[in-house]
Amino acid sequence: MYRNWVILAIIVLIYLPVSIDATVLHVAIPTLSAALSLSSTEMLWVIDIYSLIMAGLILPMGALGDRIGFKRLMLIGAGIFGVASLMAAFANTAFMLIAARAFLGVGAAMILPATLAGVRNTFLDEKQRNYALGVWGTVGGGGAAFGPLLGGFILEHFTWGTVFLINVPIIILVLVLIPWLVPKQEVQTKQPLNLMQALILVTAILMLIYSVKTSIHAFNVWMILIFIVGLGLLVGFIRHQLKTTQPMIDFSLFKNPVISTSIVMAMVAMIALVGFELLLSQELQFVYGYSPLEAGLFILPFMIAICIGGPFTSILMNHYGLRPVATIGMLMCAVSFLGLAMTNFDTHSIQAWVWMVLMGISVEIALLSSTAAIMSSVSPQKATAAGAIEGMAYELGAGLGIAIFGLLLAIFYTQSIVLPVDLPQNLVAQVSSSIGEAIRIVQPLEPALKQEVKQAAFEAFIHAHSKVLGISGVMFLILSIFVWRTLPDKKQLAG
């Protein structure tokens, strides 16, 4: 039994940089924009590409884990992740950084399903597995939540490249420990990989998100064509998966209401976690003038709450079962988002922290209860594939969180900004596109006009942020009803 917990320690150690890298750049937006002269679109891709690549590749990497064993998959993924971290640390252009972040996503797509399969194969007792998943969930959610604080601390004392260099010693340690302490597993040598289908899925997702993002500020016929091609690829991918005898996605798993509902929960919870952090980090720095470290410290209660939520959820799951715990988690998310929508983060900080604590606990409840349900609903032989589907939901949620929250914020910001009449017409479009562009563009203007434009941008951003949070609250309220109606009772869950 002691060895099982040693293996868990290795698993969470390699999972930690994967989860941190999903959010560590959230507070670095102003710094990176200045250092690499990034446009707002390039900045979103720097953040977004990591999760989107993971989402598209994580399923075939799960199949690869079944074929070669989670130990080998973890070793290969760790090696790729380490090399990509070095590439990102020394990138000096937007293209190089986006490419390095994409490469990081490839390594992470191998690591994540390997860690879940490692937990499933190491802890065969359900209650012990739930506690182990509680630790795993704390590291995953806590790492993603603490990413902004770590990023803020690094930017306060070091250059931005250090954000990626901190991964390297962790990777080296893991590469030493895994061959020594982690046992070999039985493998399925005939497991299909479906790499071409994975590339089609990634291409479809990227084309759809690119066309939607770009159309906000540069709508033209090319964006329509890219959207149509991306949609066609996605439809073709789904039709192929339904017809083929060896699909990349095992749709038979989705017939289980526990798995299908849990995937929805995981995706929506990650949309909330990542999207909220990104928007709050921008508001604190752009509107209220916080430094990256100060912004990270402001979000600290949210981070602590996520860490507490993991073990807390494990206890609740073992005593009350999935349905009531998951439903309460969704309701708590709804209440906290609606409360945050009506809170001024600068003048009512204590109130904001209370709502963030509630949301942190509830998001972790949603994430961990969905993970525990999926892992308990499949056999050990299906663990890697199920873990890959769960991981895809996580990462697709993270990518969509950035895309959806960013898209809604941009729409509401553009609609609500009221600019002074004496602002030169050639600057109106840029100032109206985003708060980052507005602050950069107005620097050469005379002081009175510059302050007036900045104030208009601040008010528009706050209004847009409040609307996005309100919509999120309503979404979670609807989801809580859906979860209660679709999940079975505790006694119906498969062990």
Question: From CA 302, how far away is CA 142, in angstroms rounded?
Answer: 9
Query: What is d(CA 164, CA 314) in angstroms, rounded to the nearest whole number?
Result: 32
Using DSSP, state whether 249 is helix, strand or coil: coil
DSSP character string of 397-427: HHHHHHHHHHHHHHHHHHHH----TTS-HHH
Residue 492: its pLDDT value, please?
A: 46
Residue ranges per structural domain of the chain: 2-194+246-414+461-490, 195-245
Q: Are 351 and 343 in contact (CB under 8 A)?
A: yes
Q: What is the mean pLDDT of the chain?
A: 81
* Higher pLDDT among residues 252 and 93, named by residue: 93
Distance, in Å, from the CA atom of 317 to the CA atom of 341, rounded to the nearest integer, reads 30
pLDDT (mean) for 470-483:
88
User: What is the pTM (predicted TM-score) of this model?
Assistant: 0.75
Q: What percent of the chain has pLDDT over 70?
A: 89
Tokens 């709508």 map to which residue? 219
Nearest to 286 by CA among 444, 461, 490, 422: 461
CA distance 237 to 221: 24
Helices (H) and strands (E) in the chain, counts: 19, 0
Is the predicted pLDDT of residue 489 greater than 70, yes or no? no
- Compute and round to an integer the Cα radius of gyration of the chain: 22
Provide the pLDDT confidence category of residue 104 given band limits of 50, 70 and 90.
very high
Higher pLDDT, 354 or 221: 354
Q: Quote the CA–CA distance of 89 and 92 in Å, as a whole number.
A: 9
- pLDDT on residue 259: 78
What is the identity of the amino acid at 86?
Answer: L
pLDDT for residue 106: 92
Among residues 325, 307, 315, which one has the least CA distance to residue 365?
325
What's the CA gap between 152 and 235, in Å, rounded? 41
Rounded mean pLDDT of 345-361? 89
Highest-scoring range by mean pLDDT, 198-212, 245-259, 274-288, 457-471? 457-471
Q: What architecture does CATH give domain 2-194+246-414+461-490? A: Up-down Bundle (1.20)
Angle between helices 349-376 and 257-282 (to 10 degrees): 150
Lowest mean pLDDT, pick from 118-127, 181-190, 403-412 = 181-190
Determine the pLDDT at residue 265. Answer: 81
Phi/psi region, residue 37 (left: phi>0; alpha: psi -120 to 50; beta: rest), is left
- What are the b/e assignments for 38-67, b being 16+ CB within 10 Å? bbbbbbbbbbbbbbbbbbbbbbbbbbbbbb
Return the pLDDT at 85: 94
What are the distances in angstroms from CA 442 to CA 85, 362, 446? 35, 40, 9
Tokens of 310: 């993991």
The secondary structure element, H or E, covering residue 235 is helix 221-243
pLDDT at 17 over 50: yes
The rounded distance, in Å, linking the Cα atoms of 401 and 487 is 24
Flag whether pLDDT at 133 surpasses 70: yes
Burial class (CB in 10 A: 0-12, 13-18, 19+), 186: exposed
pLDDT given at position 189: 59
How confident is residue 97, by pLDDT bands cut at 50, 70 and 90? very high
Write out the two tokens for 21.
Answer: 């890298």
pLDDT given at position 87: 94
- Name which of 49-63, 387-401, 404-418 the model is least confident about: 387-401
Structure letter (DSSP) for residue 24:
T
- Residue 149 tokens read as 């604080």
